[in-house]
């Protein structure tokens, strides 16, 4: 039986999710890919899931007004998920969802937290802020999700250089490559018992 049962929440491209899928399929991570939920019906993450044969669902405040969180919890539970992986999920996660999975909800942030996190710090805004602050090193952080943006326990980080001629876009691309390695390696360490959550 696989050690981790992963359920994904993703809003857009899902490239981190894809990197994890590839590493599960190649047996780097001892995990089962249980299901994918997106709040965005046209997200590429849902297409990726369909292509991979992973059960995929569009669940949002619009599809399930008033009980979106319950629907996400039920969907994850009915697919035997024990660990939730946020992969570019643009919604605040309700405390009930976190509690239903005993805090086993992970997120990736495209900077070295605790710097450059918090409200409004998402997507290209993060990389703009890093460049404006004249940082020479950026990176990505995997952390547990709690009720405040980007504040949960940090599990792992990867560093990447910031070059003097970087634009937010070139930096974002370098960080994203790092994210793909970091998310899979962290999940492998969790599956192998090297990181306890």
Nearest of 62, 86, 60, 88 to residue 72 by alpha carbon? 60
Q: How far is Cα of residue 135 from the mean position of the Cα atoms in its chain?
A: 24
Q: How far apart are CA 176 and CA 156, in angstroms?
A: 15
Pick the closer one to ligand GRF by CB: 12 or 58: 12
The answer to whether 109 is a known catalytic residue is yes
Pick the closer one to ligand GRF by CB: 13 or 103: 13
Q: How far apart are CA 25 and CA 14, in angstroms?
A: 16
| Binding test (CB under 6 A) with ligand GRF, winner from 12, 77, 151, 189 | 12
What H or E segment, with its residue span, contains residue 4? strand 4-9
Is residue 16 at the binding interface for ligand GRF, with CB under 6 A as the rule?
Answer: yes
Pick the catalytic residue: 5, 64, 79, 109? 109
Is residue 24 at the binding interface for ligand GRF, with CB under 6 A as the rule?
Answer: no
| Binding test (CB under 6 A) with ligand GRF, winner from 13, 103, 118, 178 | 13
Cβ 180 vs Cβ 150: under 8 Å: no
Identify the sign of the CA torsion 128, 129, 132, 137: negative
Quickly count: other Cβ atoms within 10 Å of residue 177's Cβ: 14
User: Of 87-146, which residues contact ligand GRF (CB under 6 A)?
Assistant: 87-88, 108-110
Is residue 38 at the binding interface for ligand GRF, with CB under 6 A as the rule?
Answer: no
Pick the closer one to ligand GRF by CB: 101 or 116: 116
| Binding test (CB under 6 A) with ligand GRF, winner from 14, 117, 139, 152 | 14
User: Of 177-196, which residues contact ligand GRF (CB under 6 A)?
Assistant: 179
Q: How far apart are CA 58 and CA 25, in angstroms?
A: 24
Give the interface with ligand GRF as residue ranges (CB under 6 A). Answer: 10, 12-16, 87-88, 108-110, 176, 179
Which sequence positions are flagged as catalytic? 109
């Amino acid at each position: 039986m696989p050690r981790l049962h992963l359920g994904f929440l993703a809003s857009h491209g899902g490239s981190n999710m894809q990197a994890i899928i590839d590493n599960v399929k190649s047996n780097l991570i001892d995990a089962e890919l249980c299901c994918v939920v997106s709040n965005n019906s046209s997200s590429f993450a849902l297409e990726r899931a369909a292509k991979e044969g992973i059960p995929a669902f569009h669940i949002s405040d619009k599809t399930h007004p008033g009980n979106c969180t319950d629907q996400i919890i039920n969907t994850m539970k009915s697919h035997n998920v024990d660990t939730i992986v946020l992969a570019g999920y643009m919604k605040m996660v309700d405390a009930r969802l976190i509690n239903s999975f005993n805090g086993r909800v992970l997120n990736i942030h495209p900077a070295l937290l605790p710097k450059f996190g918090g409200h409004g710090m998402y997507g290209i805004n993060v990389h703009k802020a890093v460049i404006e602050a004249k940082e020479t090193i950026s990176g990505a952080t995997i952390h547990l999700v709690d009720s405040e943006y980007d504040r949960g326990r940090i599990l792992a980080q990867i560093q990447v250089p910031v070059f003097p001629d970087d634009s937010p876009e070139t930096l974002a691309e370098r960080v994203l490559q790092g994210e793909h390695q970091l998310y899979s390696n962290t999940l492998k360490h969790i599956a192998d018992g090297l990181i306890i959550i």
